[in-house]
Amino acid sequence: MKKFLTILLSIVVIISFSACSDKSNSVNSTNNAINTSDNTGNKSNSIKHNENLEKIAVEFVNELSKGNFESAYNKFGSSFKKAITLKKLKETWATASTQVGEVNNILGTRTEHDDKFDKVFVTCKFDKTTLDIQVTFDKDKNIVGFFFVKTKIIPKSNKNNIDDESKNIFYEKEVTIGAGEWALPGILTIPKGKGNFPAVVLVHGSGPNDRDETIGPNKPFRDLAHGLASKGIVVLRYDKRTLVYGKKMLKLKKGITVQTETIDDALLAINLLRNRKEVDKSKIFVLGHSLGGSLLPRIEQQDSNIAGLICLAGSARPLEDFFVEQYTYLFSLDGKITDKEKDILEQTKKDVEKIKSLDVNNYDTNEILINVPAGYWVDLKQHNIAEIVKKSKKPMLILQGERDYQVTMKDFQLWKKLLSNRKNVEFKSYKKLNHLFMEGTGKSSPNEYYIENHIPQYVIDDISNWIKK
């Protein structure tokens, strides 16, 4: 099945789908139960009220999954109808279906309340993942918003634990990145020993990622942290701001950009390492994956004391260039592109053209392109990665999986073209690896992201050997 939640394309769901997740929706939540009652007011009335809302929410999801968009649209309140047209509702659902597949089953519901809204979370099993559809109601039981958020039902996995052998090699310590309204939970993986170790900050790809960059049963950042710590390197990883504060970020007056989404917190993480007694302050490196790898030159621009940059499946091309490529690849996996998929491609091509033509000094701040505000694209246009990296003098290690269809060997070759005259830049590609730097055979597909795997030891060795040179 070709429909899934991509890593790079998950930027699509930052705003439209996932952005209303907050700390209560963190993937690290230990509350895995589905319930239909709360602890406020009269319990009997509360349960009845919740059940009524949950019935409406389930009906709404069922209408969407069956393609009955007019019926679903009629459940919207008047204010929400002003914000989203029937056509936009159809396009939004089509895009989501392309990424995660069709709804196979509704697993349950739960309800949360605040001062203004009731929120029903309908837990849905899609073709390629399990997500909650958060349906938000006003006091009149009208739907005033819906979002895709990570479910609180977390599959149990032994990968969350340090095995007995590793406990003799390294330990982990919970930390906080930054302070105040944007403070983020993180974790340090520290080798046992005297200290003065080299250190690495891990910077996520696009979308509201947790500290492990979890997708399905796989946790590539956990693999990197444990692997590198076993080699005597301190590693810092943390939950991304769009995961912890998604709803609050929607209210930013200047809108969301990669600066607020990613770069600011990466800089704070670097500073945290500088204040750790276990860390050699002259040997702090930054490792970025996917979009995080692409942003490394911008991070270095704002902190010239970084020792070096490690890019895993990053690109120096404009972000908008990937959408048509990835959609075309995914739609072609079954050998046929349907009319529905052709329509999505055509609309995406039009949006990409609009992004290319945006006037950075005169644009509509309310315009949404590929489900992301125009200001996000304008910020990217104003910071050309290919030009920025040419001015960098920092050591770089650029790694690429040859089976990666999200960021491809074309991007790897572009890095070589841009940096071939630099003696302190090393390049290496791996024949068997995909976008997660995990092994597979044949043509890569989304299915392998949902099969438990790990980053191979030879990748860990290459990174640690480069850091210790």
- Calpha distance 2→331 (Å, rounded): 7
Give the active site residue among 18, 206, 290, 315: 290
Secondary structure of residue 218 in the 3-state scheme: strand
Segment (H or E) for 133:
strand 130-137
- Calpha distance 148→121 (Å, rounded): 9
Residue 309: exposure state from Cβ atoms within 10 A (0-12, 13-18, ≥19): buried
Among residues 57, 61, 89, which one has the least CA distance to residue 73? 89
Give the active site residue among 10, 404, 445, 464: 404
Query: Would residue 454 show up in a list of annotated catalytic residues for this protein?
Result: no
Give the active site residue among 264, 435, 454, 464: 435
- Calpha distance 357→383 (Å, rounded): 15
- Nearest 5 degrees, angle CA 14-CA 260-CA 174? 90
H runs (alpha helix) in 168-263: 220-229, 241-244, 246-249, 258
- Calpha distance 96→148 (Å, rounded): 9
* The pair of three-digit structure tokens given for residue 459, joined into one six-digit string: 């990748």
Query: Would residue 383 show up in a list of annotated catalytic residues for this protein?
Result: no
Q: Which residues contact 132 (CB under 8 A, 6 or more apart)?
A: 25, 121, 122, 123, 124, 148, 149, 150, 151, 152
From residue 374, give the alpha-carbon distance in Å to each of 270, 357, 386: 30, 11, 21
Q: How many other CB atoms are found less than 10 A from the CB of residue 386?
A: 15
Q: Are 226 and 204 in contact (CB under 8 A)?
A: no
Q: Per DSSP, what are the bridge partners of residue 242?
A: none
Among residues 231, 232, 301, 238, which one has the least CA distance to residue 265? 238
* The pair of three-digit structure tokens given for residue 339, joined into one six-digit string: 């009319």
Query: Would residue 49 show up in a list of annotated catalytic residues for this protein?
Result: no
H runs (alpha helix) in 120-256: 164-167, 220-229, 241-244, 246-249
From residue 390, give the alpha-carbon distance in Å to each of 296, 386, 409: 12, 7, 20
Annotated catalytic residues are 290, 404, 435
